[in-house]
Amino acid sequence: MSTTAAEVGRATPTGAITAADLEKDRSFKGTIGDITSPNARMVCRDVNVYYGDKQAIKRVSLDIGKNEVVSMIGPSGCGKSTFLRCLNRMNDTIPGCRVTGLIALDGVDVYDKKLDVVPLRAQVGMVFQKPNPFPKSIYENVAYGPRIHGLTNNKTELDELVETSLRKAGLWEEVKDRLDQPGTGLSGGQQQRLCIARTIAVSPEVILMDEPCSALDPIATAKIEELIDELRENYSIAIVTHSMQQAARVSQRTAYFHLGDLVEVGETDQIFTNPQHKLTEDYITGRFG
Amino acid sequence: MSNPATPDGANSPRRAIDAVNASLKRRYAAEKRFRLMGMSAVILGLAFVAILFVDIVAKGWPAFQQTSIQLPIYFDAQVIDPEGTREADTLSRANYVVLARDALRAQFPDVQGRTDVRALNAMLSPGVPQQLRELVMADPSLIGTTQEIWLIADDDVDQFVKGAIPRDVPELERRVKDQTVAWIDALDERGRIEKKFNTTFFTAGASREPELAGIAGALMGSFYTLVLTLLFSFPIAVGAALYLEEFAPKNKWTDIIEVNINNLAAVPSIVFGLLGLAVFISFFGVPRSTPLVGALVLTLMTLPTIIIASRAALKSVPPSIREAALGVGASPLQTQFHHVLPLAMPGMLTGTIIGMAQALGETAPLLMIGMIAFIVDIPGGFTDPSTVLPVQIFLWADSPERGFIEKTSAAIMVLLGFLLLMNLTAVLLRRKFERRW
Ligand SMILES: Nc1ncnc2c1ncn2[C@@H]1O[C@H](COP(=O)(O)OP(=O)(O)OP(=O)(O)O)[C@@H](O)[C@H]1O
Ligand SMILES: [Mg+2]
């Protein structure tokens, strides 16, 4: 597992990124629209991802800015999850998966061989497409992250953190009387909200959400969207969604993926009202996908 | 197959359901056949196990009883301690045989002649003096008094009383002669001969005399050996499985290691014994015949089993759990120890118990490292010479005396009991560790 970092081919071998690097990469013109963000926290340039011989992401460049929600849309299998998982190196765990190109968080190369992935993942949290609570109690699920990182000083603080996290995820009222029951005993939607609570409990600065609302009812969805809006004040968020309305509601910028290519990026309003590319237009008007 | 769904089946649902109904009977028949076959396999298996158990229990049951002869023993001060010092040394060296023989002679005053007297004395076990010695050493105030004592009978008498030596065969073909039979009957009439619960069997070590032989030595030997085997093999095997499954790079070398581990699981156990003899005893100088060296050899033997089972258990833990842990920033080691290991533990424990059961029943490699030695003393530690249950069974099964036949079966019963206990522990541990996800 830990060895896959060594297998990752690197385009830019050094950890520090110079302005010249960025300038050079900006010239890339595969994608329609402005891939950059004025206040970028995560910078991705020419990212390629291969599963064995199969290329799942092709020369994707995209910034994720401070106080910004970037939504990623596109037909199933186009590589949205794959791209998202590159950002906190979750792809390291997949044997045969190779990432090339540049991904940087606050100017630090994420794929630098010397970089420790543990703090990276504490900083870049992730909500997975399929809910994956630990087979432990609801309380333990949320408390686990803060505990291993030593975020709280005592039990009371931890209790408080668990409660606020569950409240933010809109799950508190449903589970407050059964915190000691297994997280796996919850319904699919409740499990997903538990995973969201687990992720925000470690206060990550960038949050990656892979279809966080796909199993939720409209009320819970509204709750999560509210949370995303709230989190945006301090953090950066990348969200994958199949719901155009959701993308339109929560995000400032939208990226449209198609078969591993990043076809178009732009202000959310502009993408939905005035798409430039034929594929984008077809997708958002519902002609395919 | 015989009734394929038509391509336009979607447009004509009736046709599809007809096909389903037609095939239904066939499908149910196949299911019924399969169930019947499964059931008969289980019944056949159970039947064989039942036959085995009934046979063993029927043969071994008498070993839990021992014929004893009650005699009024006069603890003669002149014989035991003529000087009246009551020193332990004097008491332990006294000639207790005389006391027992005199008491038996008193029951049959008319027995005369050397051969007859010898035959009469032979009714008592050679263990009787030791029995009396222990009584006197524990309570010297017995000296000078007369006590009714149940003395251990010789194994021939024991076998005769239990009916293993039949009465109605010609005297020449019978180990217990007519004269002795008459004495046994006479004692029986006076209520002086009886079958009692055989405590010796559970407290004594090995002996040449069946009536004095016990399982305690082998039981303790097995216990010490297994405890050490568990302590050695479980951590090593779990560590190896964890490393190979979760941390090691997947390449040619790990493939070779995997193939070799699988091969080791099939190596004849005697080879491990030879290896133990050459490496542990000859090279490292580990004392032979001890639970320590036995455990080392059995560890080598059980490691592949536990490693293979542990790797399978690790593989069955869903990857999403690892992702979840890594996703909140747990280190790989924390991910393993906090999340993956607890989930894999039931499977690992099952593998361990299978390995341990294998180790408990193993004989061949232990013969090579001297655990077949005849050891009277019950081992008190990991470096005392000892033997183990299966070797004891082997030794007893090989002994010519009739009395050892029942001991053999009884030892098998004890071994099975031990196994049952181990498996029960495994089930309980599994229950404790098992979680849903
Ligand atoms: N572990 C893997 N091994 C091999 N190929 C993979 C793996 N994961 C994804 N892929 C392939 O990579 C491509 C992109 O998959 P990805 O999961 O990123 O799609 P997605 O856009 O998230 O789709 P969805 O909207 O259905 O979640 C697909 O063609 C998929 O088959
Ligand atoms: Mg996906």
Radius of gyration of chain B (CA): 32
The pLDDT assigned to A5 comes to 36
Angle at which helices B341-361 and B291-315 cross, to 10°: 140
pLDDT digits 0-9 by tens, A131-145: 999 999 999 999 999
Decide: B72 and B118 in contact? Cβ < 8 Å. Answer: no
| Sheet containing strand A253-258, strands side by side | A124-127, A206-210, A236-240, A69-73, A253-258, A261-267
**What confidence tens digit (pLDDT) does each residue in B263-296 have?**
988 899 999 999 999 999 999 999 988 999 999 9
The answer to whether A37 and A253 have CB atoms below 8 angstroms apart is yes
Token pair recorded at residue B167 = 């009465």
pLDDT at position B1, please?
44
> How many other C-beta atoms lie within 10 A of the C-beta of residue A201?
28
- pLDDT, position B408: 92
Residue B386 CA to residue A35 CA, distance in Å, equals 78
Residues in chain B closer than 8 A to A202 (CB atoms)? 328-329
pLDDT tens across A97-129, in order? 999 999 999 989 999 888 999 999 999 999 998
Alpha helices in B61-173 (DSSP H): 77-80, 88-93, 96-107, 114-121, 128-138, 155-161
Predicted pLDDT of residue B371: 86
More confident position, A16 or A84: A84
pLDDT (0 to 100) of residue A15: 45
* DSSP secondary structure string for all residues of A55-84: EEEEEEEEEEETT-EEEEE-STTSSHHHHH
Query: Which is nearest to B291 in space by CA: B196, B208, B210, B391?
Result: B391
Tokens in use for B344? 């894999």
The minimum CA-CA distance between A97 and chain B, rounded to whole Å, is: 13
| Ligand 1 atom with least separation from CA of A78 | 21
Decide: B296 and B286 in contact? Cβ < 8 Å.
Answer: yes
Nearest ligand atom owner, CA of A74: 1
Confidence at residue A44, expressed as pLDDT on a 0 to 100 scale = 93
Residues in chain A: 289
pLDDT on residue B208: 86
In b/e form, how buried is each residue of A55-87, taking b as 16+ CB within 10 angstroms? Answer: ebbbbbbbbbbbebbbbbbbbeebbbbbbbbbb
* Residue B428, C-beta contacts closer than 8 angstroms, at least 6 positions apart: none
| Residue B334 C-beta-side C-alpha neighbours within 13 Å | 15
pLDDT band at A161 (very low <50, low <70, confident <90, very high): very high
Chain A positions in Cβ-Cβ contact with residue B250 (cut-off 8 Å): 95
**Highest mean pLDDT range out of A212-221, B34-43, B187-196, B389-398?**
B34-43
pLDDT value of position A211: 92
Contact B320 A144 (CB under 8 A): no
Higher pLDDT, B15 or A194: A194
Q: Is there an atom of ligand 1 within 6 Å of A81 CB?
A: yes
H/E run at residue B262? helix B252-264
Average pLDDT over residues B206-232: 91
pLDDT for res A12: 39
The predicted structure's pLDDT at residue B80: 86
Evaluate: CB of A56 within 6 angstroms of ligand 1.
Answer: yes
**According to the model, what pLDDT value does residue B176 have?**
87
Burial class (CB in 10 A: 0-12, 13-18, 19+), B229: buried
Residue B150: which H helix or E strand, with range?
strand B146-152
Q: Which residues, 6 or more positions from B19, have their beta carbon under 8 angstroms from its beta carbon?
A: B3, B4, B5
Place of tokens 């569950």: A166
pTM as predicted:
0.81
Q: Count how many residues are written for chain B.
A: 437
User: Given pLDDT bands bounded at 50, 70 and 90, which one contains residue A201?
Assistant: very high
Q: Report helix, strand and coil shares of chain A as percent, to nearest 5.
A: 40, 25, 35
pLDDT exceeds cutoff 60 at A179 = yes
Q: Is A241 in the pocket of ligand 1 (CB under 6 A)?
A: no
CA of A56 to the centre of ligand 1 (A): 7
Residue B410 burial (CB < 10 Å; 0-12/13-18/19+)? buried
Question: What is the band of A10 on the pLDDT scale with cuts at 50, 70, 90?
Answer: very low
What is the reported pLDDT for B435? Answer: 58
Shortest alpha-carbon distance between residue B232 and chain A (Å) = 27
CA distance B328 to chain A (A): 6
Give which of B328, B331, B334, B341 to mutate to test A binding, by max A Cβ within 10 Å. Answer: B328
- Distance CA(B165)–CA(B55), nearest Å, equals 19
Q: How far is A78 from chain B (nearest CA, A)?
A: 21
What is the per-residue DSSP string for A7-45?
H---SS-SSB--HHHHHHHHT--SSBS----TTEEEEEE
Task: Report, in this order, helix, strand and coil percent for chain B, each rounded to 5.
Answer: 70, 5, 25
Q: Is the CB of A80 under 6 A from ligand 1?
A: yes
User: Does residue B32 surpass a pLDDT of 60?
Assistant: yes
Give the per-residue pLDDT at B280. Answer: 93
- How far CA B193 is from CA of A105, B124, B147, B150, in Å, comes to 93, 11, 16, 9
Q: Give the residue-averaged pLDDT of B247-259.
A: 90
**pLDDT at position B12:** 59
B251 and chain A in contact, CB less than 8 A: no
Give the atom of ligand 1 at the shortest distance from the alpha carbon of A80. Answer: 21
**Cβ-based burial of A173 (10 A; exposed 0-12, middle 13-18, buried ≥19):** exposed
Q: Tell me: pLDDT of B235 over 90.
A: yes
Q: Flag the least confident range among A109-113, B6-10, B50-54, B107-111.
A: B6-10
Non-local (6+) Cβ contacts of A190 within 8 A are A171, A174, A175
The predicted structure's pLDDT at residue A27 = 38
Tell me what pLDDT residue B370 has: 87
Identify the band that residue B13 occupies on the pLDDT scale cut at 50, 70 and 90: low
Distance CA(B189)–CA(B181), nearest Å, equals 12
Residue with the smallest CA separation from ligand 1 atom 1 is A94
For the stretch A225-238, pLDDT in tens is 998 998 899 889 99
Mutating to test ligand 1, I would choose from A82, A127, A261 the residue with most ligand atoms within 8 A of its C-beta, which is A82
In this structure, which long-range contacts are made by residues A144-149, counting pairs with CB atoms below 8 Å and at least 24 apart in sequence? A144/A198, A144/B325, A144/B328, A144/B330, A144/B338, A145/A198, A145/A199, A145/A201, A145/A202, A145/B328, A145/B329, A145/B330, A146/A201, A146/A202, A148/B328, A148/B329, A148/B330, A148/B334, A148/B338, A149/A122, A149/A202, A149/B329
Q: Helices A188-201 and B319-327: crossing angle, nearest 10°?
A: 30
Per-residue pLDDT, averaged over B65-85, amounts to 88
- pLDDT tens for A17-63 read 555 554 444 433 477 888 888 888 999 999 999 999 999 999 899 99
Q: B329, A128: Cβ pair inside 8 Å?
A: no
Q: B376-418, pLDDT tens digit by residue?
A: 888 888 989 999 999 999 999 988 888 898 899 999 999 999 8
pLDDT of residue A13: 40
B288-317 pLDDT, tens digit each: 889 999 999 999 999 999 999 999 999 999
> Could you give the domains of chain B?
68-198 (no CATH), 216-433 (1.10.3720.10)
Number of helices (H) and strands (E), helices first, in chain A?
A: 12, 10
Cα→Cα distances B349→A26, B298, B387, Å = 57, 17, 26
Other Cβ atoms within 10 Å of B331 Cβ, number: 17
Please tell me whether residue B241 adopts helix, strand or coil conformation: helix
Which pLDDT score is estimated for A14? 44
Which pLDDT score is estimated for A160?
Answer: 95
Nearest-CA residue for ligand 1 atom 18 is A79
DSSP state of B75: -
Residue with tokens 């400032």: A252
Q: Identify the DSSP state of B378.
A: P
pLDDT for position B82 = 85
| Contact predicate A1/B247, CB 8 Å | yes
Of A76, A68, A81, A74, nearest to A34 by C-alpha is: A68
pLDDT at position A30:
73
Average pLDDT, chain A: 86
Residue A77 Cα to ligand 2 middle (Å): 7
Indicate if the pLDDT at residue B9 is higher than 50: no
Report the alpha-carbon angle B14-B18-B22, nearest 5. 175
Task: Determine the pLDDT at residue A6.
Answer: 36
DSSP string, A196-260: HHHHHHT--SEEEEESTTTT--HHHHHHHHHHHHHHHTTSEEEEE-S-HHHHHHH-SEEEEEETT
CA B296 to chain centre: 19
Q: What is the pLDDT of residue A288?
A: 57
Q: Are A170 and A223 within 8 A, CB to CB?
A: yes
Find chain A residues with C-beta within 8 A of B329's C-beta: 118-119, 121-122, 145, 148-149, 202
Instruction: Reply yes or no on whether the pLDDT at B5 is more than 50.
Output: no
CB-defined contacts A:B, below 8 A: 76
